[in-house]
Structure formats: structure tokens, C-alpha cells
Structure 1
Amino acid sequence: MNDIYSNCLVKASLVPAVRTATATGTAVDRNEDGSMYQDALIVVSTGVITDGTHTIEVQDSADNSSYAAVASEFLQGTEPAIVAANDNTTYELGYLGRKRYLRVVSTVAGATDGGALAALVVLSGPRVAPVVRN
């Protein structure tokens, strides 16, 4: 099957929430159900950002234990520093690296009321298709 539903899987790293403090997202396994996805797109979506700066960082890991910031050469697009002027905005970042695990971190500075945001990882290009959904 060559359709998008059979070849993509969306996983939440940072679930939607109003954030006033730094948050580390849940790990996303690129080998979900043995599919070994070749491609990943990180989607950050904001709601109302009242105050503060919410700096997004994509991290990767080979072992789901030791995480590090993804080098800019392995990212398409720029990790955003989200402020109040960025209400209701969607950001997309392509991941070109080969590490198995990805997560998103939102580092918050200067927030009292904070801002609403979420980060999803869209996995595509599985070696085994169609995608298994749980």
C-alpha cells in the first residue's frame, strides 16, 4: 500500500499542555513495531502563549538512555524560540539523523502564565508496511 495512512505513524513527544517550566518529552522509537521508519518530521503546535520564551530542542539517542541535542546538520528547519507573538503557530523540523530514538524538550524561561504547546513526531518510510496501529 502506497497511501499515507499505511506508511506514516504519529507519536506525541510533548502532549498538549500549558507550560510554565521546562518539559522533556516522551521518547519516540523509530523502530515502533519493527517497522524501522526511515524519516521523521517533528511538528510543534502552539496555542496561546501568554509569556516567557519556550525554546524547542530536538534530541536523539541510540539507546533511549543517553540523549543529546541533534546537530543542526541533521535538522531541516530551525528549532524555534517561541514567544507571545507566536500564538497558534505550527513549526516543522525534518530529522536527517539515523539514531533510533527521538524526543522534544521545551526549555522555558521568564514564564509566569506560560504557553500552550505540543510536539508530535511523524514517522514515515517504514521498512515494513502497512503500519501497525495500536
Structure 2
Amino acid sequence: MASRDLHNTIHVARGISPAAAVTDNTAFVSQIIDTKGYESAEFVILTGSLADADATFTVLVEDGDASNLSDAAAVADTFLLGTEALAGFAFGDDDEVRKIGYVGGKRYVRVTVTPANNSGNAFVAGVWVLGNPRTAPTANPPV
């Protein structure tokens, strides 16, 4: 593969689907990603309009070995690339992107974005990007 080939060495998966705006403090919980077959995982958060004038959004990354994350535990900072604080955002961060990487040894991971003081419209979506596959090229479209 060519050194500039990202296409064949990543797998993307739905994290948080685009949806109607949240107008309260309901958390956005990502799909659980299975990291089997990949050496790296990144979660990308996309904000749309964040209408409330004092809302904040915190990020939590959890991992575990159970496919339903019944054993979920908060990921230690040593297993994150970037910080949960840097992945978080506030009401003035309309139409921006944040990211947080996971390098831990557990198979399953999820991200939760929790609003506080949100009474306006908040649009949030997210996508998982898995990289460094043990087998390449990766499927297109992703499965």
C-alpha cells in the first residue's frame, strides 16, 4: 500500500447518529465499538448548533471486555490520547470537532457526552475511527 493511503488502513463506524436537538441534559451515548483486529481507536465528536448560553458538555470514555459493557469502567488517563477535558466543549463551540484516542487493552469501548445547564438546542454527533488493522485493506463500504 502507498504511504499516503489512509483509506485502506482505517475502519469507520457510527458512534452517535445525527438526530434532533437535545433540549435538556440527556447524555449522548455512543455505540460500543469492538476494537478486535485493530491497534488504535479514535472517537471524533462533531458539534452543530449549541443554543444554550451556559451549557457545557463533558466527555467520559469507558472500556471493558463484555460486548454489552456490563463491566464498563472509566478509562485511566494513561490509556487515552488527549484528555476527556480537551474532548469536551461548551455553548460557544458551535460547528466544531473534538477527538479522543484510546490505547487501552480492553476489547470494547464507548464514549458518553453529558450536557449540563442545557435548555437550548444541542446538536451532537460522533464517529469511531479504528486504525492500524491487523489485516488490510479494510472493507469498503465498512461493515
Using structure 2 for the length normalisation, give the TM-score: 0.82
Match of 2:33 in 1: 28
Cα drift, residue 76 of structure 1: 1.4
The CA RMSD measured in Å over matched residues stands at 1.6
Deviations 1:75-124 (A, max 9, x none): 11122332111111111212111211111111122111241111211101
Match for residue 11 of structure 2 among 3, 9, 29: 9
Unaligned runs of 5+ in 1: none
1:86 matched to 2:93? The reply is yes
Match of 1:103 in 2: 110
1:47 matched to 2:52? The reply is no
Matched-pair contact (CA < 8 Å) for 1:104–1:119: no
Residues paired across the two proteins, number: 130
**Superposed counterparts of 1:111-126, under 5 Å:** 111-126=118-133
Mark the CA change 1:63 to 1:43 in structure 2 (over 3 Å): closer, same or farther: same
Distance in 1 (alpha carbons) for counterparts of 2:28 and 2:94: 19
Distance in 2 (alpha carbons) for counterparts of 1:9 and 1:100: 15
Matched residue type, 1:30: T
Matched residue type, 1:56: V
Please identify which structure carries the higher strand content: 1
